[in-house]
Amino acid sequence: MNIDGQPYRTIFPDPDGVSVQVIDQTRLPFAFELKRLATLDEAAVAIRTMIVRGAPLIGVTAAYGLALAMRADASHDGIDRAVATLAATRPTAVNLRWALDRVAANLRQVAPDERFDRAFAEAGRIAEEDVASCRAIGAHGGRIIADLHKAKGGAKGGDKPVTVLTHCNAGWLATVDWGTALAPVYAAHEQGVPVHVLVDETRPRSQGAALTAFELHGHGVPHTVIADNAGGHLMQHGQVDLCIVGSDRTTARGDVCNKIGTYLKALAAHDTGVPFYAALPFSTIDWTLQDGVTEIPIEERDGREVTHMTGRLADGGFATIEVVSPGSPVANPAFDVTPARLVTGIITERGVCDASAEGLYGLYPERRKAA
């Protein structure tokens, strides 16, 4: 997608052929910087410190990280060590494990001296597939937005925009390109369907305020940043047509795990009759899990993310300030689970389905055989 009119992806091979470049998301929205990852450790640090983040992008970065590890140690033990290092970076997004398993299985089929090339090429394929999946999610979800626009009267109804509330950043910055929850928004926008995005700021790390707002602005999509607690009120007053969120892990029964606070938005949407969709590629579905609330591991992050905030000062400098009463204990669970009963539908690259085992196996019948 575009930054200042120039198309970018979040991760791409460096021209040197032995490393990758990523957009450093810890520097956004105030500075746009690329970072080169050339080793296993650099890839692991990039994921752990959220230089790259978002479930699909974490998966692709881990795949490249495994490839980079092969330059230093392409033995079987080297594969195991690299997989263990990368798998330990972040626990909730299943795309990470999925991508590592896929690349590792590939690597074991070839001799050590072929492993770097093999893994680098496989990571590239995963990245391309992610782009294709997100584009297809955009096409399917874009139709939901276009239908809502028609229901609002279309051009005859004064061309009122469809208002979409989203949480965290499930846009192109969270994937390789296009995004999941925002892909339908971009598709609708490109087709001329008027759309307006309500962006939850998403404390504590403010991915909505910092990243979603940045990318929507960069692409010229009308949007308004709202405080995390505003969504319920706006839904009660008819100011939200639908919610679309991403997912870090989705169970076989359609429970959806996403950034902390998503569940509260789903409850409000349910209470007010606002459709609530989760948009996700197949790599986010964990077919081994049924009950998301009890089975999905929830990442607990550093309390400093709650007690401190970093921002830009009037003079252009940056500062980190304390915002919590000193000495108070804090907790920082990073994700929550929205049970399938609160989800209107799941938008995938294969189409839209009910948030249920029937719905998901209907779209992925080959998984039913494997289950």
Note the residues at the interface with ligand MRU (CB under 6 A): 53-56, 93, 168, 170, 174-175, 179-180, 207, 246-248, 258-259, 334
**Rounded to whole angstroms, how far apart are CA atoms 72 and 318?**
37
User: Which CB sits closer to ligand MRU, 163 or 166?
Assistant: 166
Q: Smallest gap, in angstroms, from Cβ of residue 18 to ligand MRU?
A: 27
The answer to whether 14 is a known catalytic residue is no
Which residue lies nearest ligand MRU, judged by its C-beta? 246
* Full strand arrangement of the beta sheet holding 242-245: 223-226, 195-200, 162-166, 242-245, 276-279, 345-348, 351-353
Q: Smallest gap, in angstroms, from Cβ of residue 95 to ligand MRU?
A: 8
Give burial (CB, 10 Å; 0-12/13-18/19+) of 113.
Answer: exposed
- Are residues 275 and 347 in contact, defined by beta-carbon separation less than 8 angstroms? no
Report the alpha-carbon angle 265-266-269, nearest 5: 85
User: Which CB sits closer to ligand MRU, 251 or 258?
Assistant: 258
Which helix (H) or strand (E) element contains residue 246? Answer: none
Which helix (H) or strand (E) element contains residue 251? Answer: strand 249-251
Q: Smallest gap, in angstroms, from Cβ of residue 53 to ligand MRU?
A: 3
CB within 8 Å of 151: residues ≥ 6 apart: none
Q: Smallest gap, in angstroms, from Cβ of residue 73 to ligand MRU?
A: 28
Q: Smallest gap, in angstroms, from Cβ of residue 327 to ligand MRU?
A: 27
Q: Smallest gap, in angstroms, from Cβ of residue 267 to ligand MRU?
A: 17
In DSSP terms, 348 is beta-bridged to 351
User: Which CB sits closer to ligand MRU, 51 or 119?
Assistant: 51
User: Which CB sits closer to ligand MRU, 115 or 259?
Assistant: 259
- Are residues 280 and 360 in contact, defined by beta-carbon separation less than 8 angstroms? no
User: Which CB sits closer to ligand MRU, 119 or 198?
Assistant: 198
Helix (H, G, I), strand (E, B) or coil at 329: coil
User: Which CB sits closer to ligand MRU, 70 or 221?
Assistant: 221
Phi, psi (deg, nearest 5) at residue 98: -60, -45
Q: Which two tokens stand for residue 237?
A: 């007053």
Phi, psi (deg, nearest 5) at residue 298: -100, 125
Active-site pick, 248, 255, 286, 336: 248
Token look-up 């401190």 returns: 308
User: Which CB sits closer to ligand MRU, 124 or 246?
Assistant: 246
Q: Which two tokens stand for residue 18?
A: 């032995």
DSSP 42-102: HHHHHHHTTSS-SHHHHHHHHHHHHHHHHHH--SHHHHHHHHHHHHTS-SS-HHHHHHHHH
Q: Smallest gap, in angstroms, from Cβ of residue 180 to ligand MRU?
A: 4
Residue 145's nearest CA partner among 198, 182, 190, 188 is 188
**Which residues are annotated as catalytic?**
248
